[in-house]
Amino acid sequence: MALNINTEIPNIDIITTMGEINTHEWIENCWGIIFSHPKDFTPVCTTELGELAKLQQRFLDKNTKIMGVSIDPIEDHLNWINDINEVNNCNVMFPLIADENLRFSKAFDMLPKDNNADQHRTALNNATVRVIYIIGKDKKIKASLAYPMSTGRNFDEVERVLVSCQLTAEHSVATPANWKSGEKVIILPSINDEDAKKIFGSWESPKPYIRYVDPPEQS
């Protein structure tokens, strides 16, 4: 099952480093970031989880939870976390799913094509690819990003996409190319000028179909 944008995430129970979690209950009234990494005790993944650990409070301030997944067992996750913390001078405080039977990875479409995974894989034949889902309060996918195993993710970009999605959900605005937090946003075309005046007052309009406004404050 491919998880396209606006697909509701699967409602399943999972085993994590912080106990058993239900995906729908985990979201509660928050946003969520679920990301897969290929394998514990590998170099790129170690840098990624360290970076996320350092950024976790910024995501929490945006009402967003983080959860990771690979097909490694709980014991490996817990031992590897010690390495992550040491190498990156951080403290991993988000759950990691132990998806040994691939149930979660298959449900969330995190496996590469022609996957032949087993527990004896190496760094050259990892099962999960680097996938990120940004999930809204309604438990639906708002954005998805996939990277090859050789490319570490840019989590500043993940945060930028998250903020953009939250602005759209809360204020009916879009963000232009190369947008950064605090810059002007665009009123959605689905809002006519009459309604836009009630909501935004005025705007800059280089073309009738482009309406720039200052970014609204997020709740």
Higher pLDDT, 127 or 108: 108
Predicted local confidence at residue 91, as pLDDT: 97
Nearest to 62 by CA among 131, 158, 128: 158
Instruction: Judge whether 218 lies within some domain.
Output: no
pLDDT category of residue 205 using cuts at 50, 70 and 90? very high
Tokens encoding 111: 């496996």
| Domain identity same for 183 and 107 | no
| Domain identity same for 186 and 127 | no
The active-site residue out of 13, 138, 193, 195 is 138
Tokens encoding 16: 């994590």
Separation of alpha carbons 211 and 196, rounded Å: 9
Residue 14 has pLDDT above 60, yes or no: yes
Report the chain's mean pLDDT, rounded to a whole number: 91
Averaged pLDDT for residues 26-49 = 95
> Which CATH number characterizes residue 203's domain?
3.30.1020.10
Active-site residue flag, 90: no
| Domain identity same for 179 and 130 | no
Active-site residue flag, 165: no
Which pLDDT tens digit goes with each residue over 114-152?
545 455 544 445 457 789 999 999 999 999 999 888 899
| Domain identity same for 93 and 180 | no
| Domain identity same for 27 and 128 | yes
DSSP secondary structure code for residue 1 in this structure: -
Using a CB cutoff of 8 Å and minimum separation of 24, what contacts does 176-182 make?
Answer: 181/215, 182/215
> Which CATH number characterizes residue 120's domain?
3.40.30.10
Residue 48 has pLDDT above 70, yes or no: yes
Separation of alpha carbons 94 and 115, rounded Å: 27
Residue 178's contacts (CB-CB under 8 Å, 6 or more residues apart) are: none
| Domain identity same for 44 and 125 | yes
| Domain identity same for 18 and 112 | yes
Instruction: Judge whether 179 lies within some domain.
Output: yes
Q: Which domain holds residue 29?
A: 13-153
Higher pLDDT, 126 or 17: 17
Task: Of 30-34, 93-97, 100-104, give the lowest mean pLDDT range.
Answer: 100-104
| Domain identity same for 73 and 44 | yes
Separation of alpha carbons 4 and 131, rounded Å: 13
DSSP secondary structure code for residue 10 in this structure: P
Separation of alpha carbons 63 and 159, rounded Å: 12
Instruction: Judge whether 161 lies within some domain.
Output: no
Instruction: Judge whether 189 lies within some domain.
Output: yes
Instruction: Judge whether 164 lies within some domain.
Output: no
| Domain identity same for 137 and 186 | no
| Domain identity same for 134 and 32 | yes
The total domain count for the chain is: 2
The active-site residue out of 13, 30, 45, 118 is 45
Sheet containing strand 173-174, strands side by side: 173-174, 185-187, 210-213, 204-207
